[in-house]
Structure 1
Amino acid sequence: MDLLSLSQERHELFGIAKAEWDLQIEENKFCEDYKIHGTKSKRYRHIPNAEIPQGSPPYLRAYLSTPRGFSLRTSSIPGAGTGAWSDAFVPRFTILGVFEGVIHTLDSDDNLYSWQLDTQGCNGTYVIDATDPSCSNWLRFFNSPTKVSEENVISVSCEGMIFYMTTRDVEPGTELLVWYGDPYGKYLGINRIHPEYDLNRSVAFRANVLTFIDPDALVFDDRTPVTYQNWLEDDDSDNSSREVDQTFGLLLIYHHDNQWHWVVERNYTYYTGPPGLQLPFVCEDSSYIMSSA
């Protein structure tokens, strides 16, 4: 890649990170607005469920709740089944509804149609479970994106409910996709990790590719043994460096604390695309790294 392309890639990734930070601010604005105005807000358009015809079979409730201007049909995500689509233009920051389901306290990793929320005013959590179509609405059919460019909806927790909000203008004929969280992403084999979250705007060098040849033995890509393993220390993050693939990259980064640290190279392809992490985040010149370190 030439320098111009690398600079453009870095600019785009910074833009994505800033957009996500801005969305968090918008979520807070929406919740404050909802507490005052409810669905009568002048700032946010709320789309209600379609009215369920009397006498309809209960198992069709989720299907029949689909509002005018939207439809349920085969998802664009391979193997995802039914998906939710826009049939008309939908402006940014439109509230598509409240996620409905059975409320209970039993959480399960096998439940693919639920959101977990913190109990307001006390410790503990509860689950909104939309597994049963007769007790849920059309939002249960929203699927998860496989890359950042597919995201167009976010979930917003407010007043003990989960709202779905569009994050950009949605054109007709577009599938509506929302990120369900890291546990569900792990189930799909997708890591939603932005490079800036790990690299922290630090200088970073890719020292080498490491491989586990057994649970306790590491080798470089030339099969020589790895003698340093301090990258395993002091990592209590949700994306622990201990949770790595059989083969992974190791970064030497310079943090704002003016110290060098070993950090596992994550799977950033949700944001960077199939080629993965590239300059200027990573320098592939391992000989320079070893002499500098």
Structure 2
Amino acid sequence: MNVEAKVPWKKGALEEQYTYVLMDQRPEPKASLPWAQASLPRNLAFQYDSNNQVKTVVSREYIPQGTCFGPLVGKICTGLKMSRSMDPKHFWKVFSSEGELHHILAVNDPDCCNWMCYVNSAEAHSNQNLMAIQYNLEIYFYTVTPILDGEELLVWDARDISKHIPSLQPGNLISQPECSVDG
């Protein structure tokens, strides 16, 4: 499957590309859950393993192709180099409009990131229903196929090729929560 052919990118705003937006829940200030769990939109659910750890994110209803989730929230790290010991699921490269590494977004602390950190990577293009895209200096997940009720959300791991996906418009960083990130 050619992912670029499935998403009609053109020069212009991201808002012109999606048909539906799912917003994060705004967690209560004194919520007992970490932000990554409390921010889950109501039409999604977590599935847990036998140790009560989040295993997957699934849909509670039909989600059409063209739905946009995001942005992915985490700790912005500059001057950090990716090493082989870093789990790529928890560290996302963000590139400038010139294609240079701008920063790394660390999503390994559930108190400093949103629910998107729990979305698993698809093992192959044929399994994906989400594509990670970069808009300005933020990462969004965009549905490339409809997602059925009960279906797991799976993002294609396109981070290594993301510098080849042009940033649609230059922009600035959004403010992030203040927290420390191990890693």
Aligned residues: 153
> If the length of structure 2 is used for normalisation, what is the TM-score?
0.73
Which of 59, 63, 71 is residue 37 of structure 2 equivalent to? 63
Q: Judge conservation of contact 2:17–2:66 (CA < 8 Å) in 1.
A: no
Q: Which residue of 2 aligns with 1:85?
A: 58
Can you list the C-alpha shifts for 1:112-154, whole angstroms capped at 9, x where unaligned?
3121011346844311111111110010001012233321000
Q: What CA distance in whole angstroms lies between the structure 2 residues aligned with 1:32 and 1:134?
A: 33
Q: What CA distance in whole angstroms lies between the structure 2 residues aligned with 1:81 and 1:138?
A: 10
- Range that drifts further, 114-123 or 65-74: 114-123
Q: Which residue of 1 aligns with 2:102?
A: 125
Larger Rg: 1
Higher relative contact order (CA 8 A, sep 6+): 2
Q: Which residue of 2 aligns with 1:288?
A: none
Q: Which residue of 1 aligns with 2:67?
A: 94
Q: Which residue of 2 aligns with 1:44?
A: 19
| Structure 1 gaps, min length 5 | 1-15, 184-293
Q: What CA distance in whole angstroms lies between the structure 1 residues aligned with 2:156 and 2:17?
A: 27
Residue identity (%) = 21
| Structure 2 gaps, min length 5 | 161-183
TM-aligned CA distance change 1:94 to 1:108, over 3 Å: same
User: Within the alignment, does 1:113 sit opposite 2:113 as a pair?
Assistant: no
SS in 1 for 2:116: helix
Shift of residue 43 of structure 1? 4.9
Q: What CA distance in whole angstroms lies between the structure 1 residues aligned with 2:145 and 2:134?
A: 19
Q: How does 1:1-293 map to 2 (within 5 A)?
A: 16-17=1-2, 20-23=3-6, 26=8, 28-29=9-10, 32-34=12-14, 38=15, 43-57=18-32, 60-74=34-48, 82-105=55-78, 106=80, 107-109=82-84, 110-111=86-87, 112-120=89-97, 123-181=100-158
TM-aligned CA distance change 1:123 to 1:167, over 3 Å: closer
